[in-house]
Amino acid sequence: MHSTARGPAIGSCRIKPYRSVGDGVADALRLSRAMTLKCGLAELPHGGGKSVVVLGDAPLTPPVRENPVLDIAETNGTLDGRYRTGPDIGITPQDMAVIGRLTSGWAFCRPEALGGSGNSSAVTARGVRAALDAAVAQVRGTRAVTGPADRRHRLRQRRPSPGPVAGRRRRRRGRRRPGRPPPSANNQLTGDEVVTLLHERGITWIPDTVASAGGIIHAVCREEPACDERETDARVDAIGAKVDRILAHARTHGTPAGLRQRAPSPAVTSRATRPRAPRRIARRCGAAGRSGRAP
């Protein structure tokens, strides 16, 4: 949990192999901070959090995934609602149904038939498209996707798909042509120095904490205030107007768009009150660091 200053921390869980337990921890810390930014920019009453399960060498088959899902539910249940998770790599809305059933409903994106908001992929893509439209309008003076439906389909096929991991953009990726933004992903950039490099090379970059917020906007609005689909879609589409303001501010002041973001100080639990995950979680998942010891 990075912050609970605005409300319970939210952030999805990913189950995947990492080179070491330390890499998994670093991923969770980086992504939980991104979720605090994302919730703040989306004006949601939540802070940021993230769950990571470090897999061993075993393929993520349904029997292998079952135990980590139960462990996630067990661990989240100890937090008394201060952290609420959702699906990411290696985990599905059906898994959220299991976690929600075992944690008093503290899981987003359960199947719609079970009272959840369902898969968030399509609505995340809707928000990314709104952000791309706004960015292209700033760069070229025209919207990104216009014209007949068949043309819109062809344009969508050529655009990078939004996803949880598009790779961390390092300095060498700053060679991308000016005006072409990289794909959407929570761990899009490794640090502020890459934001500065993109700015220096004239590349219009949309902070992912704005562009890919459609998924959490949809989940929170549909499951907490019980907004209807029309109201929720309007809030997702408003991502475009937010990108307009961010890029206009960056252009006016000559500053990189991404550096305008600042995460609130992590006003959460003290170290003494942070629950430790049961050691058997590591044994079930086969997780081990380079030293071979489980976390």
Catalytically annotated residues = 50
CB atoms within 10 A of CB 147: 10
Helix (H) or strand (E) run with residue 33 in it: helix 21-41
The three-class DSSP label of residue 161 is coil
The answer to whether the CB of 37 falls within 8 A of the CB of 48 is yes
Alpha-carbon distance 55 to 138, whole Å? Answer: 42
Instruction: Using CB atoms within 10 Å of the CB of residue 291, give its burial: 0 to 12 exposed, 13 to 18 middle, 19+ buried.
Output: exposed
What are the CA-CA distances from residue 167 to residues 190, 227, 294 (Å)?
A: 9, 34, 26
